Structures are given as structure tokens and as C-alpha cells.
A and B are shown apart, each in its own frame.
Chain A
Amino acid sequence: MKPSLPSSEDRLILPSRPLRLFGGAATALFIAGLVVMVLWSILHAAANEPQVAQSTIDIPHLLRMTSIQAGLTTILSLVVGTALAWCLNRLTFPGRGLVVGLFAAAIVTPGLIVAFGLLSVWGRNGWINAALSPLGLSIGNPMFGLPGILFAHVILDAAFAARVLLARLDGIPTARLKTGQSLALGPVQRFAIIDWPAIRGALPGLAAIIFLIAFTSFPIVLLLGGGPANQTLEVAIYSAVRLDFDLRGAVNLALVQIGVCSAIILLASALAPVPTSLGPSGGQSWADRPAARALQWLILLVCLLAFVLPLLSVLIDGLAPGLRGILAVTGRDSFKAAIVTSLVIGLASATLCVLFALLLAMARATTARHLARIGLGAPAYAYLAVPAVVLALGFFLLVRNTGIRADTAAPYVVVIANALLSLPFAIATLGPPLEAIARGQGRLVRALGLTGWQQFALVEFPLLGRDLGVAFALAFCFSLGDLGVISLFGTQDFATLPLLMYRALGTYRSNDAAVIAALMLILALLAFIGLPRLFEKLANAQA
């Protein structure tokens, strides 16, 4: 359902909160200023950086490959996601909540870990080849190149799509379902008449988001790309900066990337918004006929295997060396430094992200003026158009132009960049409930004469607890798994867990990489499950 636009009546309902408006405006201006500076740095470099004599960058080829990969990912993810949502909506079984939660966790599972898990299962030295080798058989290495990239993307994006679409299916009014059941609609009629109208509105917006995620994918393509033939713009930018020292080429690529992403954002902004859907999902009592149920079980099992197997392999391979083997990796100074860096950066960027999101969303919920609402929303979404590596490149150039040492600026840049990259998701999580509170409880808040702080402490925080935890967990996990920003700013002394893992893979220390991957996965899942609960408890204590 589209949120209703604020009406003139809302101006009477909403309490006047000049401080909130000021805080939101200041945050929006700060973010807009950073975006402008990053873009200026990139444009300035495009005009002034010397051209590398033998630049190997082929922009049309990269654009074509990135578009094909992202387009195929989008189509496959929507088809698989719709099928998976259909199955999860229909089937009720013990542990259903856990399975739904597992697919919801796809949004925070680092791409690097999924790619690594796929290689563990399907790679040359993976589980399947190991099982086949006694028979003298081998499947080779099917996960390198476009098939591997697509497979990894579809695992993550189809699970994300399924969670969003499942929320739509769960939201179908009970009376409509009762009418359909009483009319004895068959599975096909039921999908066409009841389900499809409920989900089709979400598909264009979902397609735009998935295309954007796949178009700007970095770690999966870096690990599974298998060479220049399957490179995407993001990976080409990284290669140009870190491997070829072709800064002019990187800047040109970044401009193309920004152009395409901005066009998709503009398109997506005209479509229905896609809220983050991480709440509980109830099963349905209306089961389809046995043949349809058999198909639903089959689809669910295949999807579960495809999603769980790589993650399971990461855990098994990572924990296989035993306590002594794990301690050998975690006892190294480089690991200790990396985990501390990851946690500090994750917590700092998540705090900053939630603070920004609260300031912007509270200010937006305070005003019914259309232009002010656009102004408060736009800067956050501008960052969707500037993917991680491009953002890092912009900051890299900015730091260089200001004469600050890169290693001095690195921690601050990584924290700010990660906070900004998570901001659209945090606002999508916190914005709708804050708007609902303002419109639903605004009259009462006004009638009681509550101050802004009382409104937050007594009304908003207790009602927002879980959403705040979800936003914090998303930002923390995104930062924990980020390889894009750190890949340009990382040094020998300043590395996070993903960078340490990538370096281990680059030097063929796959056991070390497996241990790091397993620990990262456990950390991400713990944060994703634990933080919303922690915030909910804090909020309940407040209530």
C-alpha cells in the first residue's frame, strides 16, 4: 500500500518541532555537502589527472558486461524470489520462523562470504569435486565467471526479494482469503486473483533495487569474476586505482557508474517504495492442493540447499581446524588488530548511521511541507547512486587534494562512508514508523503539550525499539562485510576482517580465510539476531 501523502490537515495534527527541523536540515546539508565535495573531487580529477599512455580500460565492454550481469541477476532473482515467497506463504511447518529468518539474514550476509562458500562447495577443491573424485569424475570449476557471479547474486537477492514479497502476501486481508477459500479457488486461480495483485506493485521497485545492487556488486565479482572478461565497473575502478595506478581511467569509470546508478535511482523513485521487511511472518491456514504443495516443498528445499549449503560450508571449513587451528589464526597480531578495527568501525558507523537516519526521519515526520520533505530525504538517497568503491575513490581524491595523509584520514573516511552507504536502508526502516507515530499520535502529543524530548522518550523510543535495533544491525553488518571502501583505504596497519580475508585468499592461505569467514558470518548473524532484541528490551524497559 502506498503511504498517503501528508495533507493540510496534518499541519494541525503535527506538533511544532523547530529543533527537529533544524537537526534534520543540518544533517541533510552536511550529507549534501559531502556528496558535492566527492563529486567535485571526481570531476576535478577527470579534468586534471594525466592520461595513462596504455590504459586498458574498455568502458563500453565493461558497461555491457555489468548490464548483462545485473539484468540477468534481476530477472532470475525476481523469478526465484517470487516462487520462494509463494512457498513460504503457503507452507506451515515446525521451524518455519527460523527458515524465514534465515532468508531474511541474506540482506546482511557479506557477499565475500557467499562467494567463498560457493567455492568451498562447487570449486575445484570443493565438496562436490571431493565427493566425485573417487569415481574419477569432476565438475571442474563451474563457479568462476558469469555463472558463479549470477549464482551468488541470485542466492542473496532472491532471498531478499522473497522476504519483501512474503510480507506483501502476509498482508493480504483475511476477509479476501476467506472469500477465495470459500469460492474454492485452485492454486493457479489463487495466485492470479489474490497473490499477484498483492505482489505486482512491489516488483518494479524491487527490480530497480536488485539491479542496482548487482550493478554495483564488488566482492562477489572480485572473487568469482575469473578475469577481465567478466569484470564490472566497480572491480575495474578498484583495479585501475590499486593495480594499474590509472587514476584518470578510474575517474572516467566512476562517472559512468554514477550516471547509470543515478538514472536507475530516478526511475526507482517514481516506483512504489520497498520497505525493509524483517518482522515476523505468520503462516496461512489455507493450504493448496497436494500437487501444488509437493511443488512448494520441492522449491523450498532446493532454495534452502542453495542458500544454506555455502554458508554451512563456510562454518564447517572455518571451524574444521579445531580450537588449536582457530587460535593459531586468531592469535596473530594482524587478526587481533583487524577484529578490533572491524568492531570499532562497525559500531561507530552504525551509531552515526542511526543518528543521521533519526535526525532526518524525525524532521521529515515533523513537517507536512512537500518541498521540505523532499529536501530532507534526497541527500540520503543520493548515496545510493554513489556505490562503495566510487564513494571511496571520491574520498580518496578529496583527502589527497586537502593534503591530509591518507592513513590519518582512513579510519574517519571508512566510518563516514560506511554510515552513509547504510543510510538509505536505515531511513527505509525508521521513516515509516516515525511517520505513522506522528500522524497516529500527533493529536495526543499536541493536546498533552509534550516537549520534543518527552515525545521521543515516552512515545517514539518505546514504539521504535525493534526498528532502531534492525537499523543498527543492518548498518553494523554492512560495515562488517564491506570490502569496497576498505579496499582503497586499507594499509598493512589498517585492515578490517574482509580485507584480511581477501589478502589471505590472494596469498593462497585458504585455511586462514576460512577461519576469518566463519567468524565474520557468526558475528554478522549474532548482530542481526541480537541487536534488534537488545534494542527492543531497552525500549520496553523505557515503556
Chain B
Amino acid sequence: MLKLDALTYAHPGSGLTYRFDLRAYPGQVTAITGPSGSGKSTLLDLIAGFLRPTSGTMTLDSLDLVPLPPEKRPVSLLFQSETLFEHLSAERNIALGLPPRTPRAEAASRIAAALSEVGLPEVGTQRAATLSGGQKQRVALARTLLRGRPILLLDEPFSALDDETRVATRTLVRNLTQAHRWHTILVSHHADDVASMATVKYRIEAGELVEG
């Protein structure tokens, strides 16, 4: 279980202080909602390690996350854009999720398996720039599969997608979360996304998380 207890952060620019208490369970999608500027991205940055909390604790099962730098955290990220390196092929983007010096044959088979799992077995050699928005998100999910990190942070990941692709990608994320027992945290403005995916819902009010 991902557990945030009295995790506080004093924003240096605005002077606002946030305080977050949260429980996220494996195999479930936890949705965070709130108006613009309420602190949703701040919360994700704290979990990912891009911001240092002022006080409080954050653990995944028994692992203390607070002292870990971003690259050591058991976290994968999915943004609305800039999720892939556009000049690299889909395969090379996914390969960045593998441990260094993975034998070539093993890497190739794992990448192919991951691409199949996200429903894109044929795009491996294509440059990321040539993929559609939905395909890019799926390739990023394939990389997440290879990384095997149990926390997935989603920051408005479906905002740039058309309705049909949006529904398909949501379903894929939900299924992958259940299959791989990820702790998925979804930040979204869209009520549809939250309603169709979330098991647990929080909203941010006056700098604090309120369940329900």
C-alpha cells in the first residue's frame, strides 16, 4: 500500500502549505480531482520525488520513499505529452525501461511482448513522432510494463485524445493496473475519466486531500 501521512509541502512561490494524507492500494486506480492550481501536480511531484516534502512520511509497504531520488523511486510517469522522446523509435523508447546491459535478444523479446500487451505489436520501428496521441500513450505504458515499478502516476494522460481513443486507453490502463497490481494515481479534470477508472476518489480542498 502507498501511504502518505501528514506529508506537507510549503510552496516557495505562493506561500501556500499543502498537507496530504492518502492511501492507495495495489490493483486500484486512485483519482485526485480539484480545480486548477489546487495542488494536484504538486502531489504527483512529491510522490515522484521532484519536490522534497517539508515534513511527513511517504511509504510503499515498508519502503520509505522520502529519501529516495526520483530515479530510485518505484514510480513510472505518464503525462499528457512529452512522455516519449520523439526522435527515437518506439522500441528504443521502450528499451529505456529495461535495466542497463540487458542482452539484445532478451530486450527484443521483452519489448515485443510489451508492445503486444498494449495492443501495438507493429509499431516498434516507427519513430515516436509519427505515432498518434493514443499510440504514444500505449508505447509509454509498454515501457512502464518493462520497468516493473509498482506506482504509476498519470497527470491528465487522456486530455489530448479523441473520445474513442480515450475510452480504449482508459480501459487498457485499468486492465494493466489490475493485472500488474500497480498503485495507479490519476490526476484528471474530466469527470468521465474519474468515474470510469477510479476505485478510490480524493479531491483537494484548501490544500488538503478529502476522500470521496
Physical interaction between A and B: yes
A189 to B50, CA, bound (A): 20
Pairs across A and B, CB under 8 Å, 27 listed: A173-B82, A175-B81, A175-B83, A176-B82, A176-B85, A178-B48, A178-B50, A178-B70, A178-B77, A179-B82, A179-B83, A181-B50, A181-B71, A182-B71, A182-B75, A182-B76, A182-B77, A183-B71, A183-B96, A183-B97, A184-B71, A189-B96, A193-B88, A193-B96, A194-B85, A285-B50, A286-B70
Distance of A100 from chain B, by nearest CB (Å): 21
Q: A residues within 8 A CB of B76?
A: 182
Q: A residues within 8 A CB of B71?
A: 181-184
B72 part of interface (Cβ distance < 8 Å): yes
Distance of B17 from chain A, by nearest CB (Å): 20
Give residues of chain A (169-188) contacting chain B, Cβ–Cβ below 8 Å: 173, 175-176, 178-179, 181-185
Q: A residues within 8 A CB of B83?
A: 175, 179
8 more A-B residue pairs beyond the given contacts A175-B83, A179-B82, A182-B75, with a C-beta to C-beta distance below 8 A: A175-B80, A176-B82, A181-B70, A182-B71, A183-B96, A189-B96, A193-B85, A197-B87
- Select from chain A the residue with minimum beta-carbon distance to B81: A175
Q: A residues within 8 A CB of B96?
A: 183, 185, 189, 193
List B residues at the A interface (Cβ < 8 Å): 48, 50, 70-73, 75-77, 79-83, 85-88, 96-97, 147
A189 to B97, CA, bound (A): 13
A179 touches B75 (CB 8 A): no
List A residues at the B interface (Cβ < 8 Å): 173, 175-176, 178-179, 181-185, 189, 193-194, 197, 285-286
- Select from chain A the residue with minimum beta-carbon distance to B71: A184
B77 touches A179 (CB 8 A): yes
A193 to B50, CA, bound (A): 20
Q: A residues within 8 A CB of B147?
A: 183
Q: B residues within 8 A CB of A178?
A: 48, 50, 70, 77, 79
- Select from chain B the residue with minimum beta-carbon distance to A183: B96
Q: B residues within 8 A CB of A286?
A: 70
A189 to B93, CA, bound (A): 12
A8 to B109, CA, bound (A): 49
Instruction: Assess A182 versus B79: contact at CB under 8 Å? Given A193-B88, A197-B87, A285-B50.
Output: no
5 closest Cβ pairs, A-B complex: A184-B71, A175-B82, A176-B82, A175-B79, A181-B70
A176 to B87, CA, bound (A): 12
A178 to B85, CA, bound (A): 12
Q: B residues within 8 A CB of A194?
A: 85
Instruction: Assess A197 versus B77: contact at CB under 8 Å? Given A181-B71, A182-B70.
Output: no
Q: A residues within 8 A CB of B73?
A: 182
Q: B residues within 8 A CB of A197?
A: 85-87
Q: B residues within 8 A CB of A285?
A: 50
Q: B residues within 8 A CB of A176?
A: 82, 85
Distance of B152 from chain A, by nearest CB (Å): 11
- Select from chain B the residue with minimum beta-carbon distance to A184: B71
- Select from chain A the residue with minimum beta-carbon distance to B140: A179
Q: A residues within 8 A CB of B48?
A: 178, 182
A183 to B71, CA, bound (A): 6
Q: A residues within 8 A CB of B80?
A: 175
Distance of A155 from chain B, by nearest CB (Å): 33
Q: A residues within 8 A CB of B75?
A: 182
Q: A residues within 8 A CB of B72?
A: 184
A173 to B73, CA, bound (A): 21
A185 to B147, CA, bound (A): 13
Quick one: which of A176, A183, A193, A197 has the most chain B CB within 10 A? A183
Distance of B92 from chain A, by nearest CB (Å): 9
Q: B residues within 8 A CB of A179?
A: 77, 79, 82-83, 85
Quick one: which of B50, B73, B97 has the most chain A CB within 10 A? B50
- Select from chain A the residue with minimum beta-carbon distance to B75: A182
- Select from chain B the residue with minimum beta-carbon distance to A176: B82
Q: B residues within 8 A CB of A189?
A: 96
Quick one: which of A175, A178, A181 has the most chain B CB within 10 A? A178
- Select from chain B the residue with minimum beta-carbon distance to A174: B82
A181 to B73, CA, bound (A): 10
A464 to B72, CA, bound (A): 44
- Select from chain A the residue with minimum beta-carbon distance to B99: A184
Q: A residues within 8 A CB of B81?
A: 173, 175
A228 to B94, CA, bound (A): 59
Quick one: which of B73, B81, B85, B97 has the most chain A CB within 10 A? B85
Distance of A458 from chain B, by nearest CB (Å): 29
A286 to B79, CA, bound (A): 18
